[in-house]
């Protein structure tokens, strides 16, 4: 290759052996063209900084075997998707994350979204709930009902699902450190509605490892937190065969500023950690692995995202069959939810976000997602208004019904570029997975701040590229214009006041001795090694509050403080 | 001429764990030659005011993406006044609706940086502010 044609080539193109035809093209077509009009940049990269070559041909897939690496939809290694006919059978689940104010406020939004054709519920909790504090705790001041719904007890959970039959919807709950408790509340509501747990469908996020890595809503140290996660796996395997007890999440890792490869690698290495802990608990891998689900970001770089989802399925299949000896195909078929990238939304020219979100959603669908959340245009300002949330849902409906994309599984299968990129993303992810194996697993890696540091570095690199206009964000560092403010949703402090009143009433009306007895029993159980779900369930049903239950566990487990990496 | 380094405390008040912005700003200010202390997560206004006093900072940068800014930012300003630190410049970044900006500025927040702000604009603002105060 001559110097003039070298630019933009992938790093490891040394091994690439272009055909006679391609070499001829370089000489007779490309070189004169470049002399006449040089390329826009000396280097082309994805948004993650991954190099992209000028052209991909069969020479980029020399070691690639279509039968082994691509296969067909619904068959290992699931590169092309986990179902034989994909969206021809059924569209992905359109699942818009929602939650704000009181349980009654959010209940209304859920019922509205269901009436508009959404088919799954996804609950956003407020920060006090995520951190295991009741709405009346002093640290909850200013935060109640702000970035999600406030849930302090089973009474709030009953209000949240009022007139929503849990047997007929699937519910995803974005809750992590207090996941076991919130799940127990959900199960108690189901029981009150007379819904058999065996038909309950839904997903608990319950991914504590990514909290330490990225989202930072942890309460207890990693080891007792992992125990709680495995308790839910075990309980779920026994009682709720259709409920996903975890959604192993790369979304937040990406939002914290990781690259696509880091998102993929850290998520899958987290997953490996959970499987190892489950097996160590004595669970049969095929008893709980089918209930592991995943959650990825759908970011701006179209092909990189599609490659990421394809590589994710291939790595997971290999991991489950080879590393863990899983026998059930359901253990090794990676199912995932996708959400468009919140961090890509701009406060400037917010209507542009509708376009960004649509393109990101397109990548998620072409990458074979099982469910999807599309962000609203106003989320760089506040929680979405009903108008913005509806438009976001309509975006998915347009993709499903009008674009024709849902007619075909894995439309990019066999593309030289997408296959080569899938291979590269996969290789990059394996490198990280092996590094974390060498550190002794994800818990030790987190304790040494390894993934945290990798993400902080990537995030800073990206910011510098934006500041230097090496990466362009329309309306932010180019095509800037004056604009009028948009209308946003405001949550006032009356939510906290009404929650404080509800809690006062609850504490006065419930049978206090009963609550104390259950909390004492839970504390005692936490000191031992038994599965804590039954004790948590009993405490929840006695209307012990979230804060009281988390407090009891704090007494036994202690709390975690991170070493901040800047 | 040896210039005194500008001292900045980057703080995350409230329960919010979104620390991407705070970390980027901390690094950018440090790269610009300032002395930067990062509080870590989940600091109460009291903790932030004490850290600011202890570290004798010129500037406090608050990062809030949880919607709690109207409660937490004015609380901090009040505490700083009580401690006789009313001259410390307090900046705020995060998910802040435009409608809240006038009230926050009136409460004493020197500037509010919205998503999309270049780190270089923030560096320039902090430098200008320090230069003004030096005169």
Q: What is the pLDDT of residues A427-456, one digit of tens each?
A: 999 999 999 999 999 999 999 999 999 999
Quick one: average pLDDT of A18-37? Answer: 96
Strands (E), A234-379: 243-244, 246-249, 292-298, 336-340, 371-373
Which of B10, B11, B14, B15 has the highest number of chain A CBs within 10 A, making it the mutation to test binding with A? B15
Q: What is the mean pLDDT of chain A?
A: 95
**Percent with pLDDT over 70 in chain A:** 98
Q: For residue A344, is pLDDT > 50?
A: yes
Give the pLDDT confidence of A413-433 residue by residue, as tens digits. Answer: 999 999 999 999 999 999 999
Q: Which residue on chain B is closest to A343 by alpha carbon?
A: B115
State phi, psi for B91 to the nearest 5 degrees.
Answer: -115, 155
- Using 50, 70 and 90 to split pLDDT, how confident is the model at B2? low
Query: What's the pLDDT at A498?
Result: 95
Q: Which residue on chain B is closest to A255 by alpha carbon?
A: B20
CA distance A436 to chain B (A): 22
C-beta atoms of A562 and B115 within 8 A: no
Buried b (16+ CB within 10 A) or exposed e, A83-122: beebbeeebbbbbbbbbbbbbebbbebbeebeeeebbbbb
Give the pLDDT confidence of A389-402 residue by residue, as tens digits. Answer: 999 999 999 999 99
A488 touches B at CB < 8 Å? yes
What residues contact residue B38 under an 8 Å CB cut-off, 6+ apart? Answer: A564, A566, B9, B10, B11, B22, B23, B26
C-beta atoms of A128 and B72 within 8 A: no
Q: For residue A7, is pLDDT > 60?
A: no
Beta bridge partners of A455: none
Beta strands at B111-113 and A246-249: parallel, antiparallel or unpaired? unpaired
Query: What's the pLDDT at A9?
Result: 39
Quick one: average pLDDT of B24-32? Answer: 97
Q: What is the mean pLDDT of chain B?
A: 95
A195 touches B at CB < 8 Å? no
Q: For residue A1, is pLDDT > 70?
A: no
Quick one: average pLDDT of A227-242? Answer: 97
- Using 50, 70 and 90 to split pLDDT, how confident is the model at A108? very high
Chain A residues with CB-CB distance to B67 below 8 A: 143, 146-147, 382-383, 491
**Percent with pLDDT over 90 in chain A:** 92
* Residue in B20, B28, B68 closest to A257 by CB: B20
Topology classification of domain B7-134: Rossmann fold (3.40.50)
* pTM for this predicted structure: 0.95
Nearest to A393 by CA among A119, A111, A94, A92: A94
Nearest to A350 by CA among B63, B119, B115: B115
C-beta atoms of B98 and A485 within 8 A: yes
Query: What's the pLDDT at A565?
Result: 83
d(CA A141, CA A497) in angstroms, rounded, equals 10
Query: What's the pLDDT at A266?
Result: 98
DSSP per-residue string spanning A179-244: HHHHHHHHHHHHHHHT--GGG-EEEE----HHIIIII----S-HHHHHHHHHHHHHHHHHH-TTEE
Query: Which domains occur in chain A, in start order?
Result: 3-61 (no CATH), 85-467 (3.20.20.240)
Query: What's the pLDDT at A92?
Result: 96
Q: Which residue on chain A is closest to B14 by alpha carbon?
A: A139
B97 touches A at CB < 8 Å? yes
SS3 content of chain B, % helix, strand, coil (to 5): 45, 20, 35
Quick one: average pLDDT of A228-245? Answer: 97
Give the pLDDT confidence of B73-120 residue by residue, as tens digits. Answer: 999 999 999 999 999 999 999 999 999 999 999 999 999 999 999 999
Q: For residue A12, is pLDDT > 90?
A: no
d(CA A487, CA B97) in angstroms, rounded, equals 9
CA distances from residue A360 to A87, A306, A340 in whole angstroms, order as listed: 18, 10, 6
Query: What's the pLDDT at B133?
Result: 83
Q: Are B18 and A542 in contact (CB under 8 A)?
A: no
CA distance B86 to chain A (A): 23
> pLDDT: is A475 or A12 the higher one?
A475
Q: For residue B49, is pLDDT > 50?
A: yes
Quick one: average pLDDT of A366-392? Answer: 95
């Amino acid at each position: 290759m001559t110097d003039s044609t070298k630019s933009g080539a992938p790093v490891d193109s040394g091994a690439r052996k272009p055909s006679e035809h391609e070499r001829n093209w370089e000489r007779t077509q490309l070189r004169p063209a470049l002399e006449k009009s040089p390329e826009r940049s000396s280097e082309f990269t994805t948004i993650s900084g991954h190099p992209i070559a000028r052209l991909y041909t069969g020479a980029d897939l020399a070691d690639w075997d279509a039968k082994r690496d691509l296969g067909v939809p619904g068959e290992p290694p699931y590169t092309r998707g986990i179902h034989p006919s994909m969206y021809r059978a059924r569209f992905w689940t359109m699942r818009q994350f929602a939650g704000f104010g009181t349980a009654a406020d959010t209940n209304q939004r859920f019922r509205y979204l269901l009436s508009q054709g959404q088919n799954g519920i996804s609950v956003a909790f407020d920060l006090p709930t995520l951190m295991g504090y009741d709405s009346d705790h002093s640290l909850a001041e200013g935060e109640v009902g702000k970035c999600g719904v406030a849930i302090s007890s089973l009474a709030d959970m009953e209000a949240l699902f009022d007139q929503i039959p849990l047997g007929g919807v699937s519910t995803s709950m974005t809750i992590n450190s207090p996941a076991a408790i919130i799940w127990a509340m959900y199960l108690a509501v189901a029981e009150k509605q007379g819904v058999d747990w065996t038909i309950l469908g839904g997903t608990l996020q319950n991914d504590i490892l990514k909290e330490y890595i990225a989202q930072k809503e942890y309460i207890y140290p990693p080891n007792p937190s992992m125990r709680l996660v495995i308790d839910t796996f075990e309980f779920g395997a026994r009682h709720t065969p259709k409920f996903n007890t975890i959604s192993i999440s790369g979304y937040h890792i990406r939002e914290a500023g990781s690259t696509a490869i880091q998102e993929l690698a850290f998520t899958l290495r987290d997953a490996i950690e959970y499987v190892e802990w489950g097996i160590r608990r004595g669970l049969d891998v095929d008893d709980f692995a089918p209930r592991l689900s995943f959650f990825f970001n759908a970011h701006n770089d179209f092909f990189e995202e599609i490659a990421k989802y394809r590589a994710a399925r291939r790595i997971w299949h290999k991991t489950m069959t080879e590393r863990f000896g899983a026998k059930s195909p359901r253990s090794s078929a990676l199912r995932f939810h996708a959400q468009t990238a919140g961090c890509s939304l701009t406060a400037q020219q917010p209507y542009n976000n509708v376009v960004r979100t649509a393109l990101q959603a397109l990548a998620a669908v072409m990458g074979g997602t099982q469910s999807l959340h599309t962000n609203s245009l106003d989320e760089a300002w506040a929680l979405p208004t009903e108008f913005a949330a509806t438009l976001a849902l309509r975006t998915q409906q347009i993709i499903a019904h009008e674009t024709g994309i849902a007619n075909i599984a894995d439309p990019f299968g066999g593309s030289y570029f997408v296959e080569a990129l899938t291979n590269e993303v996969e290789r990059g992810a394996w490198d990280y997975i092996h590094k974390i194996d060498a550190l002794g697993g994800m818990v030790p890696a987190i304790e040494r701040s390894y993934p945290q540091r990798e993400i902080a570095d990537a995030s800073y690199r990206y910011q510098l590229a934006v500041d230097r206009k090496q990466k362009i964000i329309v309306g932010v560092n180019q095509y800037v214009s004056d604009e009028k403010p948009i209308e946003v949703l405001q949550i006032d402090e009356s939510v906290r006041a009404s929650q404080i009143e509800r809690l006062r009433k609850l504490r006065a009306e419930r049978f206090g001795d009963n609550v104390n007895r259950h909390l004492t029993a839970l504390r005692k159980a936490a000191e031992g090694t038994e599965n804590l779900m039954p004790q948590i369930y009993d405490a929840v049903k006695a209307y012990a509050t979230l804060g009281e239950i988390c407090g009891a566990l704090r007494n036994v487990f202690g709390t975690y403080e991170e070493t901040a990496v800047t | 001429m040896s210039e005194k380094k500008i001292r900045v405390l980057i703080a995350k008040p409230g329960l919010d764990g979104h620390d991407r912005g705070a970390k980027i700003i901390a690094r950018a200010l440090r790269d610009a030659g300032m002395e930067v202390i990062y509080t870590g997560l989940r600091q109460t206004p009291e903790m932030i005011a004490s850290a600011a006093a202890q570290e004798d900072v010129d500037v406090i940068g608050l990062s809030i993406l949880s919607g709690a800014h109207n409660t937490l930012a004015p609380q901090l300003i009040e505490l700083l006044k009580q401690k006789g630190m009313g001259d410390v410049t307090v900046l705020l970044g995060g998910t802040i609706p435009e409608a809240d900006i006038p009230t926050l500025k009136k409460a004493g927040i020197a500037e509010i940086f919205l998503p999309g702000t270049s780190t270089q604009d923030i560096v320039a603002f902090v430098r200008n502010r320090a230069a003004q105060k030096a005169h």
